[in-house]
Amino acid sequence: MDIRIFQVDAFAERLFAGNPAAVCPLESWPADDLLRSIAAENNLSETAFFVPDPHGDAYHLRWFTPVDEVDLCGHATLATAHVLLRYMEPSLHGVRFRTRSGELEVHREGERLVMDFPALRPEPCEPPAGLAAALGTTPLEVLAASDFVAIVPTEEAVRALAPDMAGLARLDRRGVAVTAEGEEPGIDFVSRFFAPALGVPEDPVTGSAHCELAPLWADRLGRTRLRARQLSKRGGEVLCEVESDRVHLSGRAVLYLEGTIRV
């Protein structure tokens, strides 16, 4: 069986920036073990697989890290929409995906793609044992949703982190987002994201984490439209708009390669 594969830099204005994701169009679902093996072989933070819905009005979309399937992934959804709307279905204005996190929509807005995702508001919690030691700093506050969210005093504190990945992997959440208010004009907040338990020590740009971070900073800064920057080595920016229980995340994407997997 031959499987097409695209590799896309998501949340990027140019190649070699943003977050790379693999995208594999399928006609039907093979065994999950094959999907896991392909994702492990790709060794990217996420590989997305999608099949057409039988009714023809949407696609079923799944995401795999090198270790396991996840419930929600932003950058691989952006990458999948880029492949569909740019190369496979260029006449479409938008696309709908059916996923483990419900129905997600992506539409064009100029050169950007806008994703309609659920808002995952984090709630204050007791800092879990080992978090401060693993981060190498004591957060001002800790909140929890799908991930732990650690607020630190400054942008430089986010940038300077050198976490103990083994310590973070022992925590009982998907990952840890560390964030601070932005200091550069036009940047509302910054972050870094770590998910070593899922085989992703540091994710370059994490759309799903902004489902937690955007509502948090919208409440604290008193505005619903925000520009975020993730301070990984590759780096990337995410435009966020919070509307009630939804978050609109937008960015651009660039195709790096297209090929064939022979299995």
- Give catalytic status of residue 103 as yes or no: no
Residue type for 72, please?
Answer: L
**How confident is the model at residue 118, as a pLDDT?**
97
For 129, the 3-state DSSP assignment is coil
Average pLDDT of span 193-214: 98
- For residues 14 and 36, what is the distance between their CA atoms, to the nearest angstrom? 29
Tell me the helices (H) and strands (E) count for the chain, helix number first: 6, 18
What are the residues whose beta carbons fall under 8 Å from the beta carbon of 5, sequence distance 6 or more? 22, 23, 24, 42, 258, 259, 260, 261
Task: Report strand pairing: 102-109 vs 236-243.
Answer: unpaired
At 101-127, the pLDDT tens digits run 999 999 999 999 999 999 999 999 999
- 56 pLDDT band, cuts 50/70/90, is confident
Average pLDDT, integer, range 88-112: 97
Q: For residue 223, which amino acid is it? A: R
Mean pLDDT of the chain: 97
- The whole-angstrom separation of Cα 206 and Cα 238 is 9
Round to whole Å and give the CA distance between 143 and 160. 21
* Catalytic-role residue among 13, 46, 103, 155: 46
Q: What is the pLDDT of residues 150-196, one digit of tens each?
A: 999 999 999 999 999 999 999 999 999 999 999 999 999 999 999 99
How confident is residue 23, by pLDDT bands cut at 50, 70 and 90?
Answer: very high
- Which uninterrupted H or E stretch holds 135? helix 131-135
- Which domains, and CATH codes, for the chain? 2-117+250-262 (3.10.310.10), 123-243 (3.10.310.10)
Of the pLDDT bands very low, low, confident and very high (cuts 50, 70, 90), residue 55 is confident
pLDDT reading at 210 higher than 90: yes
Amino acid in the structure at residue 206: T
